C-alpha cells in the first residue's frame, strides 16, 4: 500500500475510441476515506474513466494507481482490493437476494461466517433484511441497486467504484443509497462515484467536473460554488424559453440555463441587472413572476464554465488540472442530468 495518503491517483490518463477522445489527460487524486464524485453529462468520460480504474479497460496513455496497485502492472491483484459496480450490475434475477450475495462472496473467497455477518449488516443498512428470500428479478429498481451495492461490498474492499449507481432510482432509494455510502466511511472505505445528477455532487467531499473527457474544476462543493465568477439570478416565469431567447447576448450575462419553471443567469452586477431585466421582459410582452439573487449551485458553476469558457483559465489559476468547454445550450429539469 502506498504511503501517499491517496487511495486513487491518476496521472495524464487518456483513452480514445474511433473518432473521439473519451478521456483526455485526467490527473487527480482521491484521498483515503473520502467520497469523491466525477460529475458531468453523458459523454463527459465518466464511465470510461471508471472502467480504466477497475482494470477492465487499458489506457492509451498515462497511469493510475488504485489501493496502492499500479494498474498498468498489477491490474489483477488490484481487483481483490477494489469493488466495481457498473451501470448495469450483474445481478442474477432468477436467484434470491441471499443467493446473489453468496455468489459474489464465493467469487472473492469470503468465508461463510464472515459472509453471514457481513450480509446481515449490509442488508439491515439497506433496509432489505426482510427480502432475503425474494428473487432479484422481483425487486424494484431501487432495491436492485441497493442489492448490487451489498454484493459489491461483501468482501470489504478498500476502494469502491460506483458508476452512476442512482441513475433512474426513486428519491427514497437514492437517499437510502447515500446513507449506506456514508456508513462505509467509518470502515475506512474510499468511494469514487460518478453521477449526472449535479445535486448529488453536494453529498461528496470533493468533486471533479468533467466535460468532453477533460476536467473543468476539482475541489470541495463549497469552494466550487464560492469560485463562481459572478452572481446567480433566478427568474421565475411560466414559459422560460422565450425569456431566455430574449436575454441571450445581453452584456453582463455570461450564461443562462432553464431550471424547472424558470431561468438561472450568471451576471456581473445583479443589482443593476434586476431592474433592466424586468424592463426588457415587460417591453417584450412576456410575463415574469419574480427575479431575485440566489445562492449558486454546482450546476450553475458547470454551465458557466461550459457556456462562458472559464473552466480552463480558472482551474489553471487554482493550480489544478482543467479543460475547456465549448458554448452549448444546457436545459435542466430538476434532475441535473
> Would you say 332 and 257 are in contact if contact means Cβ atoms under 8 Å apart?
yes
* Tens-place pLDDT, residues 231-269: 999 999 989 999 999 998 899 998 899 988 899 999 999
Instruction: State which of 205, 222, 239 marks the end of a domain.
Output: 222
Task: Give domain status of residue 211, yes or no.
Answer: yes
Closest CA to 2 of 85, 86, 64: 64
Task: Give domain status of residue 337, yes or no.
Answer: no
Phi and psi torsions of 68, nearest 5°:
85, 0
Cell numbers standing for residue 38: 466525477
Please work out, in degrees rounded to the nearest 5, the angle formed at the alpha carbon of residue 164 by the alpha carbons of 162 and 165: 65
User: Which parts of 114-189 are beta strand (E)?
Assistant: 159-163
Q: Do residue 184 and residue 79 come from a single domain?
A: yes
> Would you say 196 and 42 are in contact if contact means Cβ atoms under 8 Å apart?
yes
Q: Do residue 172 and residue 258 come from a single domain?
A: no
Q: Do residue 218 and residue 275 come from a single domain?
A: no
Closest CA to 147 of 100, 88, 95: 100
Q: Do residue 161 and residue 242 come from a single domain?
A: no
What is the pLDDT tens value at each position of the chain, 337 positions in all?
A: 445 689 999 999 999 999 999 999 999 999 999 999 999 888 999 999 999 999 999 999 999 999 999 998 888 888 889 999 988 778 899 999 999 999 999 988 899 999 999 999 999 888 899 999 999 999 988 889 889 989 988 988 999 999 998 887 888 888 888 888 898 888 889 999 998 887 888 999 999 999 999 999 999 999 999 999 899 999 999 899 999 999 988 999 988 999 888 999 999 999 999 999 999 999 999 999 999 999 999 889 988 888 765 544 344 433 333 332 322 333 333 333 3
Q: Do residue 216 and residue 248 come from a single domain?
A: no
Q: Per 3-state DSSP, what percentage of the chain is helix, strand, and coil (rounded to 5)?
A: 35, 25, 35
Question: Could you give the number of structural domains in the chain?
Answer: 2
Ramachandran area for residue 134 (φ above 0: left; ψ -120 to 50: alpha; else beta): beta
Q: Is the pTM of this model over 0.85?
A: no
Q: Do residue 253 and residue 210 come from a single domain?
A: no
Task: Give domain status of residue 156, yes or no.
Answer: yes
Q: Do residue 209 and residue 232 come from a single domain?
A: no
What is the spatial distance between Cα 202 and Cα 222, in angstroms, rounded to a whole number? 8
Q: What is the CATH number of the domain that holds 63?
A: 3.40.50.300
User: Can you give the residue range of the structural domain that contains 148?
Assistant: 6-222
Amino acid at each position: 500500500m502506498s504511503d501517499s495518503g491517496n487511495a486513487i491517483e491518476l496521472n495524464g490518463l487518456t483513452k480514445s475510441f474511433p473518432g473521439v477522445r473519451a478521456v483526455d489527460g485526467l490527473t487527480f487524486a482521491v484521498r483515503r476515506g473520502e467520497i469523491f464524485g466525477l460529475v458531468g453529462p453523458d459523454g463527459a468520460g465518466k464511465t470510461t474513466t471508471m472502467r480504466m480504474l477497475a482494470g477492465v479497460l487499458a489506457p492509451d496513455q498515462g497511469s493510475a494507481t488504485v489501493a496502492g496497485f499500479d494498474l498498468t502492472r498489477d491490474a489483477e491483484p488490484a481487483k481483490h482490493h477494489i469493488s466495481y459496480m457498473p451501470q448495469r450490475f450483474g445481478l442474477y434475477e432468477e436467484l434470491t437476494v441471499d443467493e446473489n450475495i453468496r455468489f459474489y462472496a464465493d467469487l472473492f473467497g469470503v468465508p461463510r461466517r464472515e459472509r453471514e455477518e457481513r450480509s446481515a449488516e449490509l442488508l439491515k443498512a439497506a433496509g432489505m433484511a426482510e427480502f432475503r428470500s425474494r428473487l432479484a428479478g422481483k425487486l424494484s429498481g431501487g432495491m436492485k441497486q441497493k442489492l448490487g451495492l451489498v454484493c459489491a461490498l461483501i468482501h470489504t474492499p478498500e476502494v469502491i467504484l460506483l458508476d452512476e449507481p442512482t441513475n433512474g432510482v426513486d428519491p427514497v432509494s437514492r437517499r437510502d443509497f447515500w446513507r449506506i455510502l456514508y456508513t462505509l466511511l467509518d470502515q475506512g472505505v474510499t468511494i469514487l462515484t460518478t453521477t449526472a445528477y449535479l445535486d448529488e455532487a453536494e453529498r461528496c467531499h470533493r468533486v471533479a467536473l468533467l466535460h468532453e473527457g477533460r476536467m473543468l474544476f476539482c475541489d470541495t462543493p463549497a469552494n466550487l460554488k464560492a469560485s463562481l465568477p459572478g452572481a446567480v439570478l433566478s427568474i421565475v416565469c411560466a414559459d422560460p424559453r422565450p425569456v431566455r431567447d430574449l436575454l441571450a447576448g445581453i452584456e453582463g450575462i455570461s450564461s443562462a440555463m432553464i431550471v424547472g419553471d424558470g431561468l438561472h443567469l450568471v451576471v456581473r452586477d445583479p443589482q443593476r441587472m434586476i431592474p433592466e431585466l424586468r424592463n426588457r421582459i415587460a417591453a417584450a410582452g412576456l410575463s415574469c413572476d419574480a427575479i431575485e439573487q440566489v445562492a449558486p449551485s454546482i450546476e450553475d458553476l458547470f454551465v458557466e464554465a461550459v457556456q462562458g469558457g472559464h473552466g480552463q483559465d480558472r482551474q489553471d489559476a487554482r493550480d489544478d488540472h482543467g479543460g475547456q468547454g465549448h458554448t452549448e445550450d444546457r436545459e435542466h429539469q430538476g434532475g441535473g442530468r
